[in-house]
């Protein structure tokens, strides 16, 4: 590491201070993978294997939010592209009627959903795209907390399909996808299911915040459901006969908070009869005293999705204020939004 001494005697890493400017055209690395969305993934995978010589690598099942806990709503056949090493085709099929993949298929038909290219500096590439007015499906880069794999999707209207830019690292080499990467795909599609066709980029579909606190402090705070009234719209949390519940007008909803170490997430789960709503908070260390928290939203009707995303973003901002001891700086407008939404949630009949 090259260090340079600044005037005050403080040392700093040159590589961090020197900012590379990327201009268009981007310098893409090799094709990483491409993804089809189809009606029958097994049949399409078989065609590629038997006729075109693709090599089946694995089948990956994912719950992107519409299957009950332990179930799956996304089936992926991962095949190696002939003549390459670990460059893959992913053939995706939605397994539930309400899955985002089935709904996308109904609206846009089967075929290529996206093509992914490796890039060495994703932040630089995104900056160059922004300057040129080229939109992406999320404002922020999607970050896999476990492997550090990073990705973003360029909006579909430029080329008729999504283009994914992916920055890999030694923990997430080519051909490797976590289930959260797979679910990230779902987020690219949510806004494209709205009536009226192509969507504008949406800042709030993946609410995220960076907090000046250690990951341990953040996890401990999130794991305690009785902290919820301090930073969320869920303000009536009680323990009833050993079970934590959220008290609502229509009755108590059992609530569990668990740590899913394999996903690096704290998972909140509300239950109502045999239905449940799960919201994972992905906690990642950015530095020993800096932690990012990201929320993956479940597929929801578009009107509710946009509002939920806005509210969760406000909650994350309030969470940061609490953990950094500066609640007085929290925006009064956002506080009013949370107060209003608290009443809506309290009176809601369903999940």
Closest separation in Å from C-beta 121 to Fe ion: 19
- Residue closer to Fe ion by CB (options 177, 282) is 177
Provide the edge-to-edge strand list for the sheet that holds 142-143.
55-62, 74-80, 88-94, 31-37, 111-118, 162-167, 150-154, 142-143
CA 106 → CA 38, 45, 95, 98, 327, distances in Å?
10, 20, 13, 11, 46
Q: Do residues 187 and 208 touch, judged by C-beta distance below 8 A?
A: no
List Cβ neighbours of 169 (8 Å cut-off, separation of 6 or more). Answer: 147, 148, 149
Given its phi and psi angles, is residue 29 left (phi above 0), alpha (psi -120 to 50 degrees) or beta? Answer: beta
Q: Do residues 185 and 92 touch, judged by C-beta distance below 8 A?
A: yes
Closest separation in Å from C-beta 303 to Fe ion: 27
- Residue closer to Fe ion by CB (options 152, 222) is 152
Closest separation in Å from C-beta 210 to Fe ion: 25
Closest separation in Å from C-beta 113 to Fe ion: 8
Binding site for Fe ion (CB under 5 A): 116, 164
Closest separation in Å from C-beta 168 to Fe ion: 12
- Residue closer to Fe ion by CB (options 135, 215) is 135
- Residue closer to Fe ion by CB (options 81, 211) is 81
- Residue closer to Fe ion by CB (options 164, 315) is 164
- Residue closer to Fe ion by CB (options 44, 228) is 44
The structure tokens 């201009």 sit at 23
Closest separation in Å from C-beta 79 to Fe ion: 14
- Residue closer to Fe ion by CB (options 183, 318) is 183
**3-class SS at 92?**
strand
Cα–Cα distance measured from residue 215 to residue 281, given in angstroms and rounded to the nearest whole number: 12
Structure tokens at 245: 């519940």
Angle subtended at Cα 165 by Cα 62 and Cα 97, rounded to the nearest 5 degrees: 30
Cα–Cα distance measured from residue 320 to residue 314, given in angstroms and rounded to the nearest whole number: 10
* Phi, psi (rounded to 5 degrees) for 193: -95, -5
Cα–Cα distance measured from residue 226 to residue 210, given in angstroms and rounded to the nearest whole number: 22
- Residue closer to Fe ion by CB (options 116, 213) is 116
Closest separation in Å from C-beta 69 to Fe ion: 25
Closest separation in Å from C-beta 306 to Fe ion: 24
């Amino acid at each position: 590491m090259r260090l340079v001494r600044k005037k005050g005697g403080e040392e700093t890493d040159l590589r961090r201070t020197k900012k590379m400017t990327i201009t268009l055209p981007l310098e893409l690395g090799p094709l990483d993978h491409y993804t089809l969305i189809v009606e029958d993934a097994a049949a399409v995978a078989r065609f590629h294997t038997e006729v075109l010589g693709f090599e089946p690598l694995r089948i990956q099942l994912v719950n992107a939010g519409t299957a009950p806990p332990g179930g799956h709503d996304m089936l992926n056949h991962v095949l190696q592209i002939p003549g390459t090493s670990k460059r893959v085709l992913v053939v995706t099929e939605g397994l539930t009627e309400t899955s985002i993949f089935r709904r996308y298929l109904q609206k846009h038909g089967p075929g290529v959903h996206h093509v992914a290219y490796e890039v060495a500096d994703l932040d630089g590439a995104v900056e160059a795209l922004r300057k040129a007015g080229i939109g992406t499906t999320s404002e922020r880069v999607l970050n896999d907390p476990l492997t550090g794999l990073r990705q973003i999707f360029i909006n579909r209207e430029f080329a008729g399909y999504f283009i994914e830019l992916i920055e890999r690292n030694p923990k997430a080499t080519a051909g490797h996808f976590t289930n959260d990467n797979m679910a990230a795909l779902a987020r690219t599609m949510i806004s494209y299911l709205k009536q009226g066709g192509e969507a504008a980029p949406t800042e709030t579909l993946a609410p995220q915040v960076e907090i000046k606190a250690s990951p341990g402090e953040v996890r401990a705070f999130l794991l305690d459901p009785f902290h919820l009234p301090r930073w969320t719209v869920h303000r009536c949390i009680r323990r009833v006969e050993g079970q934590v519940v959220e008290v609502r007008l229509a009755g108590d909803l059992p609530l569990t908070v668990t740590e899913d170490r394999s996903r690096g997430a704290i998972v909140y789960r509300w239950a109502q009869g045999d239905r449940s709503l799960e919201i994972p908070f992905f906690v990642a260390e950015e530095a020993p005293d800096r932690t990012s928290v990201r929320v993956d939203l479940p597929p929801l009707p578009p009107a509710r999705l946009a509002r939920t995303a806005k509210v969760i973003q406000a909650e994350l901002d309030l969470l940061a204020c609490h953990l950094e001891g500066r609640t007085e700086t929290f925006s009064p407008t956002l506080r009013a939004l949370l107060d209003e939404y608290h009443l809506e949630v309290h009176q809601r009949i369903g999940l």
